[in-house]
Amino acid sequence: MIAPSFNNITSLIAKIDHNINKSNMLSGRYYYGDSTQSFPLALSGDGILPGFNTDTPTRVQLVSISLVSILSSNKVNEARLGWNRFAEGFFPEDRSFHPSSIGLNVGTGYADEGLPVIAVLAIPRLAQASPIRVSATTPTGSGSTTSRGRRVSTR
């Protein structure tokens, strides 16, 4: 029997544009995503038994601001600023089980979350490895455009 898996995602995106005046437009965007996944982390062909999935909570947030300015009939400048956040964890589904409750001494901290990996030849592993956490951040930029011989327009 293979463990069931799922991925539940909730997301939101918002955008706002504001024409400051005839030559300047300010734009902002925000994205929020929240996800809960549960799947067998069977990297080596094992770890697929029900009750021993890997739970992966994920949260993503993105913010961007852009200012487009018409400097002259053939020059446009766009300044951008952005920020992002990505946080994800990998946790054993059985992390509420503490090995010390049955006399297994596997150390402290994350090692005490869930059944330790038990490998028996030709039988799928009975647990997943220790939790892993991943996160990242930030981008910025600006640019300008020059047009020759015709007027540059914005929407």
Nearest CA to 11 among 37, 33, 36, 35? 33
pTM comes to 0.63
- The per-residue pLDDT for range 26-84, each reduced to its tens digit, is 999 999 999 998 887 655 555 566 777 788 899 999 999 999 999 998 899 999 999 99
Other C-beta atoms lying within 10 Å of the C-beta of residue 140:
10
Beta bridge partners, 93, equal none
Query: Residue 33 and residue 10: Cα distance in Å, rounded?
Result: 6
**What are 11-30's pLDDT values in tens digits?**
999 999 999 999 999 999 99
Tokens coding 35: 């996800």
